[in-house]
Structure 1
Amino acid sequence: MIETERLILRPYTTEDFAAYWAMLCEPVDRFPSRQMLSQEDAWQRMLAAAGHWTLFGYGVLAAIEKATGVYAGETGLMTMQRDIGERFAGCDEAGWYLTAQARRRGLGFEAAQALHGWYGARFSGRRTYCIVDSTNTPSLNLAIKLGYEARDLQSCGNQEMVIFERSRVRGMTRFYHAPSRSAALH
């Protein structure tokens, strides 16, 4: 578990599925592909997030607001094996997605920054990338704020995607509370 000022980042549980599914069903013009996911596909994505921790020792975490206990979204670093070019081979992919109520409050940055700090403390020096729709200004800005630099522009269907790279994930220990060794995420 990773704690920030306003959030608890923790692995998904089966009890999170209703909130996760509701988030994926929210109408968002920038992400029509998320809205095409079936409930079964969404369930498989959540199971994959849990399995990623088992296989790699890192992955996607649910973001829960401390004050209310309400699901706010997710953030993660994952091994995705995308065919996006040799430059990104061996890099892990960062991602984030928030509920409508959690957006525009700085929670995406708070969550992603904390997870990057946790990841950087354990996997120092590894490069990461993220892929952002070129029209998604909030996520483009978040990627830059996290220290990512635009490296490539690729088409995906009728969308232009910006591929950002972060040369080195830096540890930011002041932004999260490290779990005890016995409670470390596996």
Structure 2
Amino acid sequence: MPQPTSAPTLTTTRLTLTGHVATDLDDCAAMWSDPRVYTMIGGQPRSREDVWIRLLRSIGQWTLFGYGSWIARDTATGHLIGELGLIEARRAIMPSIDATPEVGWTLTGDSQGHGYASEALATILAWTDARIPRTTCIIDPANAPSIRLADRLGYRLRTTGTYRNAPTLIFDRVAAVAISAR
């Protein structure tokens, strides 16, 4: 079992990625109430209570698994860009993806389309590749921008699955470290 840990701080040219803290709640709640955010991720706004539980889950995953999600903020302004990272969701998805950590990304509506997700995820995946040989992600089939991003990051479509009675695309990625070790 991994030793309890907290999220390391990661930086990119424009972003600072840190672990979740209680004071992130207001920014995250605002993000999850924006239709530009939730339309392709469940289709419903998240209540403040649900966002609080997500925040606590993010903190707890670092303790249980030694990995988790980060809050991304613009380094110059401190504005929330989004939440990105790894999750152990244990989703009721068919086929199951439980054996592989899931990578996810959610950006504020104003942050979408500016290359922030690519920038943050390149840094996150470099950190991840040194620790985890394979990750997965799920994407709504209508979310063309996320499908293109997943492809650029090296994710390959495994299959179309079913999650919450709707089709979802399931992608896999083998860590660059694991590829070079072959």
- Alignment map for 1:33-112 (pairs within 5 Å): 33-35=43-45, 37-84=46-93, 88-112=97-121
Q: How far, CA to CA, are the matches of 1:19 and 1:68 in structure 2?
A: 14
Cα 1:32–1:128 shift into 2, 3 Å? closer
1:160 is the counterpart of 2:167: yes
Relative contact order (alpha carbons < 8 A, sep ≥ 6): 1 or 2 greater? Answer: 1
* Secondary structure of 1:122 counterpart: coil
Instruction: In structure 1, list runs of 5 or more residues that go unmatched.
Output: 172-186
TM-score (norm 2): 0.85
Q: How far, CA to CA, are the matches of 1:87 and 1:31 in structure 2?
A: 19
Instruction: In structure 2, list runs of 5 or more residues that go unmatched.
Output: 1-8, 178-182
Cα 1:149–1:44 shift into 2, 3 Å? same
Structure 2 counterpart of 1:131: 138
Q: How far, CA to CA, are the matches of 1:81 and 1:47 in structure 2?
A: 16
Task: Report if the CA contact (8 A) 2:103-2:135 is conserved.
Answer: yes
Alignment equivalent of 2:32, drawn from 24, 32, 36: 24
User: Which aligned segments of 4 or more residues in structure 1 are displaced greater than 4 angstroms?
Assistant: none
TM-score (norm 1): 0.83
Structure 1 vs Structure 2 CA RMSD = 1.7
